[in-house]
Chains A and B, each alone.
Chain A
Amino acid sequence: MADDLNSTYEYPFPMPSEEEVAYSDGAIKGRTPGSPSAYDKGGSTRWTPDAIAEVQALAQLGRYQVRGYNCFNQRMPTFDDLTFVPATMTRLPLEGYRESCDMTTVLGAGTGLVEKPLELKIPIYVASMSFGALSASAKAAIGYGASKAGTMTCTGEGGMLEDEREASQKLVYQLTPARYGVDLEHIRKADGLELVVGQGAKPGTGGLLLGMKVVERVSKMRSLPAGVDQRSTVRHPDFLGADDMAVKIEELRIATNYKVPILVKMGATRPRFDVAIAAKAGADIVVLDGAEGGTGASPELLLNHTGIPCLSAIRPARQALEDCGMSDKVSLVVSGGIRTGVDVAKCLALGADAVMIGNAAMIALGCNSPRYEEDYHALGTSPGACHHCHTGMCPVGITTQNKELEKRVNIAAGAERVYRFLTAIAMEVTMLAKACGKSSVHNLEVEDLRALSFEASAFTGVKMAGLDRAFTW
């Protein structure tokens, strides 16, 4: 062999046996040489254990996998890549523990068409989660908690639940493509009407509620046979584009006698265009839901691989409104993976007028809490890692229609926790705003932020920390 060293050197001791060379380092007969532990881990960058499991699952099922919760794509950036640069010498801070900072948030007043814009005490409200995806008790608890915090909730797809209408002082009523239970009576009971053209978790696809959650009360509200997999339409039945949507919005205004604002909710995909179009079609409020947004059930591929992150969607959305001269007229609400007041403050600084929280409110209520551990285990998961909302077997009773499980939601205590959480994160927002010298949280601006990664800077146009200019190509 050409590359063989062909050494003629001889050891001053006897040549070891082949057996000794091969196994005296602890290697095991009958398997490939090398350190056993490293070998066991595998190392394919493409065929990770997860990728292999995915193929196996698809091969078994003959269809996509379904799950709930939210995006597991590791490449999604987080708001942690941004940091605030509070007032120092160039600006003067406000007293964080003493001076007050205005949080009042008015949505839908800009067009001047609406008699009762949505006036919230805080720039945060609870995102649309349907009765069906959530239990009635969970909806009620969230409603009461939000009411106490002076903010609102949203019905989600499944129609207007009496429990929630009663609990929520302000309630946005969704008109999704499936229009479950939408009639004049309910439309007139709403404080805002939301036309849903998409959601962050699965833009381009309609709602999904698996058979085990379509129990009698749910099936009645949705006019469905009990127990079917409800896979809703994605296109609205009676308008197809922004041009027809303008006519639809006029209809809703007439039906409510111009009382309440019209919201248009969409998943974040091409916000620079989509937001401009919604604004031009006549929306009072545009709700932009990032890819990290949660859902009760979805084909997993859509959760992980569709939409753009909230972080990257806010500035183009604001820009779109500015480009068409609607920045002061149309309110912008964003959502998707918002965890704390810090995230909220960053959204406001990037250009949002208000922020919706979904998963965070559920967690405040008790999702993934360390109780009923055996039930988590039965689902093959544990507290802190649960994402099994689609099964309807939520161990803490939030995303279930099982009466027994639902009892695990303590409405009063849950409401109070939701309220305290909302209070806490609102307080966090003001703390940051005051450190940045603002007497209103709505005065947070892009200049208050710096990016910690090129990526975050490129996504948002926020100046790089230290460099004081945005990353550009």
Chain B
Amino acid sequence: MCGIAGRILNQEGGVGRDLVELMDAQAHRGADSTGFAIYTKPLPEGGKVRLMGFDRRNLNSDLDDVIKILKSHGSDLLTDPQIDDASTTHYSVRLEVREPANVESWIAEADLISNRIEVLSYGISLEIIKDVGDAKAVADKHNLRIMQGTHGLGHARLATESDVSPKASHPFWARPFPDVAIVHNGQITNYYLWRDKLELQGYRFMTENDSELLAVWISDQKRKGLSLQQALIKSVSEIDGVFTFMISDLNGIGLAKDRFAMKPLVTLESEGELIAATEEQAVRRIAPDRWDVFNYDGPSMTQIWPLRTIEAAA
């Protein structure tokens, strides 16, 4: 029930602004909440933590707890926390931290207080920003348009549950895998079967959202030795239902589509750049005059768009 978008630039630039445009054009597909995963300039050391707290009245004590847990895992703040000053009950926090000794055990402990303040993302580059409202509202609140980076994802959500929770919006971080995020359009019909299996393996889920499952599912397959390409291909036969999802990491963006050819994705690629969105009219926002778009609308499609900037650096 949503619109998704992906963007890769061939050098660091205004990826925030582009993703906001892509999502604004698709606001009619769901304006309950909008979210972005943006790969900003990697920190020379340590990682970025994006958090959402649910009760501003307890901001100080909840944040103290977050920092306490970080410290107990050999991490600490590198800079002062950045906190939004909106009037909403929920609030968002950005931290730059020294890398925890073990990200997995840190996030396991951090998740114990996720009912008060939840880690949205962790990575040297990835920053996930999500909130209620349409693309414009979220962009204004979080200054997204000025965010610089290499690539990223966007998502507009029409909530399928009645109450709109800011935390249930996309993109999702593939906890505990740093710098992996996902956006997804569709519904997975064997969701609980997979979730139960993954939970038995020790993974934890913050929401009942099937996109979160996809992120962990792919990352788990990779941990078990599959390449991203192999994991994407496997997802098409193992995940049931209709879906089109894009998964991103430091190296680029991958795509997989269900076997029924249901959920669309329109792309425009050139010279290491990618513009991808559910609807062509969103692509037009960035490339009004180019029409050599490609429609990923066949059954069982997968694709990987690597980051040119990474290739060049390597």
Contact present for A240 and B263 (CB under 8 Å): yes
Contact-residue size bin, chain B (C-beta under 8 Å from the other chain): 20 to 34
Binds A, one of B88-96, B156-164, B303-311: B156-164
A-B contact pairs, 8 of them (CB 8 A): A241-B185, A243-B158, A246-B29, A273-B160, A277-B160, A323-B163, A324-B162, A324-B164
Q: Which B residues lie within 8 Å of A323 (CB)?
A: 162-163
Contact present for B161 and A280 (CB under 8 Å): no
At the interface, yes or no: B135 with Cβ under 8 Å from chain A? no
At the interface, yes or no: B179 with Cβ under 8 Å from chain A? no
Q: Which A residues lie within 8 Å of B164 (CB)?
A: 324
Contact present for A320 and B29 (CB under 8 Å): no
Q: Measured between C-beta atoms, what is the minimum distance from A464 to chain B in Å? A: 26
Q: Which A residues lie within 8 Å of B262 (CB)?
A: 240
Bound-complex Cα distance A218 to B240 (A): 37
At the interface, yes or no: A205 with Cβ under 8 Å from chain B? no
Q: Which B residues lie within 8 Å of A273 (CB)?
A: 160-162
Q: Measured between C-beta atoms, what is the minimum distance from A271 to chain B in Å? A: 10
Q: Measured between C-beta atoms, what is the minimum distance from A266 to chain B in Å? A: 14
Contact present for B1 and A241 (CB under 8 Å): yes
- Taking CB atoms and an 8 Å cut-off, the chain B residues in 258-294 that contact chain A are 262-263, 278
Q: Which A residues lie within 8 Å of B29 (CB)?
A: 243, 246
Q: Measured between C-beta atoms, what is the minimum distance from A246 to chain B in Å? A: 6
At the interface, yes or no: A272 with Cβ under 8 Å from chain B? yes
**Chain B binding surface SS class:** loop
Bound-complex Cα distance A390 to B249 (A): 56
Bound-complex Cα distance A276 to B30 (A): 12
Bound-complex Cα distance A280 to B33 (A): 13
Q: Measured between C-beta atoms, what is the minimum distance from A233 to chain B in Å? A: 13
Bound-complex Cα distance A319 to B163 (A): 10
Task: Give the residue name and chain of the B residue nearest to A319 (CB).
Answer: B162
Digit string of A275-287 for contact with B (CB within 8 Å is 1, else 0)? 0110011000000
Contact present for A246 and B28 (CB under 8 Å): yes
Count of chain A residues with a beta carbon within 8 Å of a chain B beta carbon: 16
Bound-complex Cα distance A319 to B162 (A): 8
- If the complex has contacts A247-B28, A277-B1, A280-B32, are A242 and B158 also in contact, measured as CB distance less than 8 A? yes
Interface centre among A241, A276, A320 (most CB of B within 10 A): A241
Q: Which B residues lie within 8 Å of A320 (CB)?
A: 162
Q: List 7 additional contacts besides A241-B186, A273-B161; criterion CB under 8 Å.
A: A242-B158, A243-B3, A272-B161, A273-B160, A276-B159, A276-B161, A280-B32
**Chain A binding surface SS class:** helix
At the interface, yes or no: B25 with Cβ under 8 Å from chain A? no
Digit string of B1-38 for contact with A (CB within 8 Å is 1, else 0)? 11100000000000000000000000011101000000
Q: Which B residues lie within 8 Å of A324 (CB)?
A: 159, 162, 164
At the interface, yes or no: B63 with Cβ under 8 Å from chain A? no
Q: Which B residues lie within 8 Å of A277 (CB)?
A: 1, 158, 160
Q: Please count the residue pairs between chain A and chain B whose beta carbons lie under 8 angstroms apart in the complex.
A: 46
Q: A-contacting residues of B (Cβ < 8 Å)?
A: 1-3, 28-30, 32, 158-164, 185-187, 242, 262-263, 278
Q: B-contacting residues of A (Cβ < 8 Å)?
A: 240-243, 246-247, 272-273, 276-277, 280-281, 319-320, 323-324
Contact present for B162 and A243 (CB under 8 Å): no
Q: Which B residues lie within 8 Å of A240 (CB)?
A: 242, 262-263
Contact present for A242 and B28 (CB under 8 Å): no
Task: Give the residue name and chain of the B residue nearest to A321 (CB).
Answer: B162
Q: Which A residues lie within 8 Å of B28 (CB)?
A: 243, 246-247
Bound-complex Cα distance A240 to B258 (A): 14
Bound-complex Cα distance A58 to B23 (A): 52
Bound-complex Cα distance A277 to B162 (A): 8
Q: Measured between C-beta atoms, what is the minimum distance from A249 to chain B in Å? A: 11
Q: Measured between C-beta atoms, what is the minimum distance from B292 to chain A in Å? A: 24
User: Which listed residue, A242, A247, A272, A319, touches B1 by the CB 8 Å rule?
Assistant: A242
Interface centre among B28, B160, B185, B187 (most CB of A within 10 A): B160
Q: Which A residues lie within 8 Å of B30 (CB)?
A: 243, 280
Bound-complex Cα distance A276 to B164 (A): 11
Q: Which B residues lie within 8 Å of A241 (CB)?
A: 1, 185-187, 263
Q: Measured between C-beta atoms, what is the minimum distance from A275 to chain B in Å? A: 9
Bound-complex Cα distance A242 to B32 (A): 13
Bound-complex Cα distance A246 to B164 (A): 19
Task: Give the residue name and chain of the B residue nearest to A246 (CB).
Answer: B28
Q: Measured between C-beta atoms, what is the minimum distance from A323 to chain B in Å? A: 3
Bound-complex Cα distance A273 to B161 (A): 5
Task: Give the residue name and chain of the A residue nearest to B32 (CB).
Answer: A280
User: Which listed residue, B2, B160, B185, B263, touches A276 by the CB 8 Å rule?
Assistant: B160
Task: Give the residue name and chain of the A residue nearest to B30 (CB).
Answer: A243
Q: Measured between C-beta atoms, what is the minimum distance from B135 to chain A in Å? A: 14
